Structure 1
């Protein structure tokens, strides 16, 4: 029984350790973006620190039981509070990467010290050949890591969120370590050690419980520190953090803003300029059957539905929480004019890349309204492969518009999209318009055959575009002329490199 209990503790501790790693990776991807870089830094630093921790554990083996308990309590405290501490550093101190590296070093060192001490304790229960003992210990460790890897995305994140999920795992970590030591190895502890560990355990438990109780208040305060205007809605979904803010002042126009993972998606005071430029050039030809990729806020959809001869619109949005918000939140419903409830609309909650792979239907007009390619997960939506599938879904006489970022702030990213689309055989006409909340913002109008001439055929006058302004939008000043850059592919996502480097200063 004692041996089984120890291996069960190894199993639990391994699961907890992997959750701490994944929590740091996930938080970094939400706050900073670039999941690949965040994962590389966290895992690389933690594995390095685990080696240092294993070496540092050598002098601790004399009092293996006591020292293992101390290490588990330290892991529980720092691992459980890791997300909260990093979020606080990001929100109020504007520090993240340095803090993440420090935490990864600390947690990795503590995790690395576990195995040597557990090996000593395992041998005290029953002497084994070194190879057999290592096999038993690592088998429990690796299977436990599998549990942690599955529990984090499928249980902890959706049901508890990042902060509370880490706190719960910290508590489990502490309980597992203390139960093993105070039951199986109680005789190895002196009276002072038992009292000392009990006091430390009470402090750790109090810290974790207190943090859990006040985590909602903390999260609300930290979020508000990141935004200039009051937050009116916030939700952490399995895919992203959704935040809406609203400026309400008696002397100014109300401004509702949507942020995804901290990136501005629209400002209600000028979003019409963006969406008119995105949608209406694609609607100047055939438009009975329209496809919108992205645009879960319903604002591009609002513009499409202005055309009475549109018979069917399919909107593909990854996050069901976003489309639910657009369909049900009163402020957003008012802005998108109840577009999500129109009987002509079919909403599909799916990854647009995977969804396009299985499509055989062709569409008269396609609107590509994706978030900027500054994260690994969105870079594939600006790839040669993605645009190739979009080409297949476009009718022979159809038009497709693509939101393409800023030709002024991110020129290499903008012209990379142009080059990538061209590589598929589609022909594009670039154009750009001023959107005060974003700056100078660019788009591509694409078609099969020859490059299309942007035109307008709206059922009524638009607020920001007419034939003259659309013609002017196709003119680029000398400092914004076309740049020759290679296309972006799944295997070489150049758009991600360009986007991250160009937007870093803004």
Structure 2
């Protein structure tokens, strides 16, 4: 693979540039295969632990995955007064569903993952990610998530899209027709949360996403988290609601310190939730201009 050079895995993780790379030393290749949809790689790193790579892009590492999984799950869930029925698009590594089923108000989770091989690899090699695949709240489907939402209107309180970068098969998950399909699949007051790239490298792209969603949803915000194994160390989420009164920076469901400990949360707190929407001035200025 071109990504391997003298024992290092190198990712070029910028949408519109090839000038910035992230390299991680590979101590051992655990597994590699080509599925019907993508190349799958698992390797061991002294610093990051087990690492999952899809099509040469790091998806998660044992060291820092929880900062992504907890935020993409609880930013929307705790912004909804009663998130009983949840849909996850993608997320085959299991991290998002692991967090979603912890929420005390969630009663049922439907997960649509297009590639069964990712789930299988996670179960075999990433046990810290895949523990919730046997949870009774979960209904796991192996099918196209976009097609699923088009055929299930008015069914979900929260929809989370845990997608790879907008290249190849995932590109449609960042386009206006997909967001309109998500809108129709939500119940009254429903909320979506989608992976929305890094403001350090992809601010123009993020502005395009915000513009699209403001033409569909009544409330739209971009929240941020830190993930050191991603090329910029930062990634964001687009959260949108059918309810104009939703203030994403002020969660309606607030976890106590005891709850966070009991749920084994390592990154998310109610205070972190609020701070996720306190963006640097250069970012906020650009998003306010949309």
TM-score (norm 1): 0.48
1:414 to 184, 206, 212: 206
Displacement after TM superposition at 1:436 (Å): 1.6
2:170 to 362, 378, 382: 378
Q: Which residue of 1 aligns with 2:40?
A: 242
Contact 1:426 1:448 in 2 (8 A): yes
> Does residue 1:306 correspond to 2:107, yes or no?
no
Q: Which residue of 1 aligns with 2:188?
A: 396
Contact 1:291 1:313 in 2 (8 A): yes
Contact 2:217 2:241 in 1 (8 A): no
Q: Deviations over 1:429-481 (max 9, x none)?
A: 21112222221211122100316322153482132232332222212222223
Q: Which residue of 2 aligns with 1:257?
A: 51
1:436 to 228, 235, 241: 228
Distance 1:90 1:433 in 2: 26
1:268 to 62, 71, 87: 62
Displacement after TM superposition at 1:309 (Å): 3.6
- What is the aligned length? 260
1:480 to 262, 279, 283: 283
User: Root-mean-square deviation (CA), in Å?
Assistant: 2.5
Q: Which residue of 2 aligns with 1:332?
A: 126
Q: How does 1:74-89 map to 2 (within 5 A)?
A: none
Contact 1:411 1:480 in 2 (8 A): yes
> Does residue 1:369 correspond to 2:132, yes or no?
no
Secondary structure at 2:63's aligned position in 1?
Answer: coil
Contact 1:290 1:314 in 2 (8 A): yes
Secondary structure at 1:359's aligned position in 2?
Answer: coil
Judging by fraction of residues, say which structure has more strand.
2
Contact 1:446 1:452 in 2 (8 A): no
Distance 1:408 1:227 in 2: 20
Change (3 A) 1:311 1:270: same
Judging by fraction of residues, say which structure has more helix.
1
> Does residue 1:231 correspond to 2:29, yes or no?
yes
Structure 1 runs, 4 residues or longer, greater than 6 Å off: 484-487
Secondary structure at 2:206's aligned position in 1?
Answer: helix
Distance 2:273 2:104 in 1: 23
Distance 1:466 1:91 in 2: 37
Displacement after TM superposition at 1:368 (Å): 1.1
Distance 1:262 1:451 in 2: 41
In structure 1, stretches of 5+ residues that fail to align are: 1-86, 94-225, 488-506
Displacement after TM superposition at 1:324 (Å): 2.3
Q: Which residue of 2 aligns with 1:148?
A: none
Change (3 A) 1:451 1:420: farther
Distance 1:289 1:426 in 2: 21
Secondary structure at 1:239's aligned position in 2?
Answer: coil
1:457 to 241, 245, 254: 254
Distance 1:431 1:309 in 2: 22
In structure 2, stretches of 5+ residues that fail to align are: 7-22
Secondary structure at 1:483's aligned position in 2?
Answer: helix
Secondary structure at 1:481's aligned position in 2?
Answer: helix
Contact 2:89 2:162 in 1 (8 A): yes
Larger RCO, structures 1/2 (Cα 8 Å, 6+ apart) = 2
Distance 2:274 2:117 in 1: 38
Distance 1:486 1:422 in 2: 12
